[in-house]
Amino acid sequence: MLPIDLSGRRALVAGVADDNGFGFAIAKALAAAGASVCVATWPPALNIFLNLIERGKIDDSRRLADGSLMTFERIYPLDATFDTLADAPEEIRTNKRYAERGDFSIEGLATQLVADFGEKPLDIVVHSLANGPEVKKPLLEVSRHGYLAAVSASAYSMVSMVQRLGPLLRPGGSFSSLTYMASERVIPGYGGGMSSAKAALESDTRTLAFEAGRKFGARVNVISAGPYASRAASAIGIIGKMVEYCERNAALPEQLDAMDVGNTAAFLASDLARGITGTTVYVDKGYHAMGMAVDALTTVAGAD
């Protein structure tokens, strides 16, 4: 037996606001492997997430194989579009959903982690963050603001997290993030500059693997997950069609389960993957390997 054992390690999963996405599945897999898990949540969603936990609304989702409930060591506020609190406009800092949260920036998160756990508090950091305010717009219609906002929230936030959390990693630490194959192939309907943001994230992963590897001794990888109908992904507008299409045309004709991604993230964080860095790992039932849609092949085969 070759187990994934993360006992004694602390993980931070940024981008968990409910029990329905990849971030939650990754947190659950890390907890199942023995890690202590902290999560970071977008401030406007934090009260809702806390209420879901306190009222037992997601107890079924939190239940681990041994019957226990996954617990979060800490739940932090985080708006990863801001490197420091001073970067946030006054209307954000004074907004009631933000004002009561203290320093919700990436730097604020790093400072609070050190205050809570000491100088080297982390072993694992997971970036499960993405946002494109104009994701429903074709690239030809995207504004400069919308494009840069997508890159800022979905790609640069990873760079900023490695900058500020890299020094907090203990030896053998790792970073991972989530991408999508729109970074390398055209996915009509996945717009707003998000395809560009994911391409930047993958390119940055390779460079960060070198730089953070030499500076912090950390590994950096990215998981290219297939489409999944999470609540956050509903913003795309066509996520249901994307899921169905990939299910029909992937090498393994079945829908992706969020825990497929969660388990891969746990593996990448473990010593079993200590030789893997700077890599894009596909978890999409083999869809990325297909050069022709099965739908198209069936049409061709049935032609006169």
Is residue 20 within 8 A of residue 228, CB to CB? The reply is no
List phi, psi (to 5°) of 57.
-70, -20
155 vs 298, higher pLDDT: 155
Structural domain total, the chain = 1
Tell me which residue range forms the domain holding 213.
10-301
296 falls within a domain: yes
- How much is the pLDDT for 300? 43
| CA angle, residues 62, 66, 68, in degrees to nearest 5 | 45
2 falls within a domain: no
Q: Give the annotated binding-site residues for NAD(+).
A: 15, 129, 198
Cα-based distances in Å from 191 to 80, 116, 183, 238, 298: 21, 40, 11, 11, 29
* Identity of the amino acid at 68: S
48 falls within a domain: yes
**Exposure b/e, 194-223, CB count within 10 A at least 16 = b:** bbbbbbbbbebbbebbebbeeebebbbbbb
* pLDDT (mean) for 79-108: 96
Catalytic residue among 98, 156, 190, 228: 190
C-alpha torsion angle, residues 225, 174, 113, 36 (rounded to 10): 80
Q: Give the annotated binding-site residues.
A: 15, 129, 198
Question: pTM of the predicted model, to two decimals?
Answer: 0.94
34 falls within a domain: yes
User: Is residue 76 annotated as part of the catalytic site, yes or no?
Assistant: no
5 falls within a domain: no
Residues 20-48: tens digit of each pLDDT: 999 999 999 999 999 999 999 999 999 99
Is residue 136 within 8 A of residue 236, CB to CB? The reply is yes
1 falls within a domain: no
269 falls within a domain: yes
Residues 253-293: tens digit of each pLDDT: 999 999 999 999 999 999 999 999 999 999 999 999 998 88
Catalytic residue among 76, 156, 180, 287: 180
214 falls within a domain: yes
Cα-based distances in Å from 177 to 18, 28, 147, 252: 18, 16, 20, 24
- How much is the pLDDT for 301? 47
CATH (domain of 57): 3.40.50.720
User: Is residue 245 annotated as part of the catalytic site, yes or no?
Assistant: no
